[in-house]
Amino acid sequence: MTTIGIIGAGAIGSAFARALARKGLKAIISNSRGPASLVDLARELGPSITPGTREQAAAQDIVLVAVNWSKLPSALSGLPGFDGRIVIDANNPIEAPLFKPAELHGRTSSEIFTDLVPGARVVKAFNHLPAHLISDNPQAGGGQRVLFFAGDDANAKAAVGKLIEQIDFFGIDLGSLADGDELFQIPGGPLSVHNLVRVESMRRDV
Ligand SMILES: NC(=O)c1ccc[n+]([C@@H]2O[C@H](COP(=O)([O-])OP(=O)(O)OC[C@H]3O[C@@H](n4cnc5c(N)ncnc54)[C@H](OP(=O)(O)O)[C@@H]3O)[C@@H](O)[C@H]2O)c1
């Protein structure tokens, strides 16, 4: 069975954990302050979510990272190599409270993030909607809420697409990491912050 780890237990990390918990999927969740600080959150989310260390979370088959942009280097430093495992980049190069875009020095956010997780197969996902739309029930508006994902490794994308399906969202593969940066990253992505719902079309024969 695929195991899941979460680095970052704030708005997005805990929203993702809540979506997993709703389906009884197991995950280890971590933050900068250690497992003891996450006991109440884990109790609230239910028995499938276990507090752990950053190292324990990073050792799982699929690792979602949701940390403030400026803190990503310290959150990901000193971890063993990812050795082909999947890392979901749920981050955006912008930060509360000023929401000023980060200086990327001519690189893309995915290039910078990928350098921080050596050996990982990176898939960009869970970064284009406000956190409550990830934790809320995805059966909404008469359909199924859409989550975009993008990456350069077809098998890694397929695994993340399957996970998105398992938690009842409708996943749409938008191409490579570069495509993801351009299309659904905050700030600037024309598809970012769009709360789209996939509705079954009704075909009428005449
Ligand atoms: N909020 C949204 O609606 C939203 C939407 C889309 C994308 N995003 C992106 O998601 C990412 C996270 O945003 P957020 O709103 O979830 O932030 P947040 O609520 O401030 O949570 C940040 C989390 O990162 C953890 N963290 C910080 N430094 C760490 C370290 N060295 N090691 C381990 N964990 C560390 C924090 O743990 P401690 O509290 O213990 O320090 C906290 O759990 C950002 O890149 C943001 O752009 C956010």
Percent of the chain whose pLDDT exceeds 90: 95
Q: What is the CATH number of the domain that holds 94?
A: 3.40.50.720
Closest Cα to atom 45 of ligand 1: 91
* pLDDT tens column, 42-64: 999 999 999 999 999 999 999 99
* pLDDT tens column, 105-130: 999 999 999 999 999 999 999 999 99
Instruction: Return the best residue to mutate from 32, 41, 110 for the ligand 1 pocket (most ligand atoms within 8 A of CB).
Output: 32
User: How many domains, the chain?
Assistant: 1
Is residue 206, in this structure, part of any structural domain at all?
no
Do residues 72 and 102 lie in contact, with contact meaning Cβ atoms separated by under 8 Å?
A: no
Do residues 90 and 134 lie in contact, with contact meaning Cβ atoms separated by under 8 Å?
A: no
Is residue 55, in this structure, part of any structural domain at all?
yes
Ligand 1 contacts CB of residue 67 (under 6 A): yes
Is residue 102, in this structure, part of any structural domain at all?
yes
Is residue 65, in this structure, part of any structural domain at all?
yes
Closest Cα to atom 30 of ligand 1: 75
108 CB-contact burial (10 Å; exposed 0-12 / middle 13-18 / buried 19+): middle
Parent domain of 185: 4-198
Distance from the alpha carbon of residue 12 to the mean position of ligand 1, in angstroms: 7
